[in-house]
Amino acid sequence: MRAAVCGYPIAHSLSPALHRAAYAALGLHGWQYDLLEVDEQRLPALVASLDAGWAGLSLTMPLKQAVVPLVDEVSDFARAVGAVNTVVVTPRGAGAGVHLRAENTDVHGIVAALAEAGAVRVGSGAVVGGGATARSALVALLRAGCPRPVAVVRSPGRAGELREVAARLGGEVDVRGWAELPSALDAEVVVSTVPAGASEDVAAALTAHPGPHPLLLDVVYAPWPTPLARRWDGPVVGGFEMLLHQGAAQVELMTGHRAPLAEMREAGLAALRARASA
């Protein structure tokens, strides 16, 4: 069986280390997990080529919405979140092709990463960014009991999708512009979903909001630490923990086996150490 992580760019991804470690621990000999550089233009051809020899795809940017019209089914939860990071391939039967179901495991990854840091229930939370991962972070905060998360975005007028996601799940979101970022850092939990290159902009807001700061989950794991993580005067959870838990959920969806979390964590951390020493 075959699976792969797809995105553009994709060379930085640690997903192969995690999934391959899971296959080895589960005794799934003959299973392989590849890394495929795929942009929005190449995605339709890849999806159309999936057959019974495939278990599924892991998707990262910029494919989390582009894949939606290409699959047979989007789970109710993924549709509510408005973002997909997993495609599960299921054979229909002899000669009948395959069924492609889109799922979201990012929310699980964020919830689990926050829970490991002690944030099982969140009274107030803020999400920095407005993309697909920000929507998953918003849902994760709502699931953790946050009644009205704050979303800080560069263009509040384009935050309609965040509002729609919250409404579909029976919640609300307080959308604020970038200039209001310092005040959002008063939340109990802050989730930064901005790329590594934009992390410095968020870190600059700390000047106007001196520490100590609450819990930060920075979804970036490469390069690590980000400028924001380095300057944060408080507890920090890196994106590796989110990646680990969302990857474990993908392993379970694609293989039908319980994910070997300890082995996956060990392999991922080893890969990060190897990168740091290279």
Residue with tokens 């929507």: 135
- For 36-45, which contacts have Cβ atoms below 8 Å and span 24 or more sequence positions? 36/4, 36/5, 36/6, 36/10, 37/6, 37/7, 37/8, 37/9, 37/10, 37/11, 38/6, 38/7, 38/8, 38/10, 38/63, 39/8, 39/63, 40/8, 40/66, 43/6, 43/67, 43/70, 44/70
What would the 3-class secondary structure string for 109-141 be? HHHHHHHHCCCCCCCCEEEECCCHHHHHHHHHH
Three-point CA angle 191, 195, 196, nearest 5°:
100
32 a catalytic residue: no
Task: Name the catalytic one among 64, 135, 213, 245.
Answer: 64
Asked whether the beta carbons of 73 and 102 are under 8 A apart, the reply is yes
Just list the catalytic residues: 64
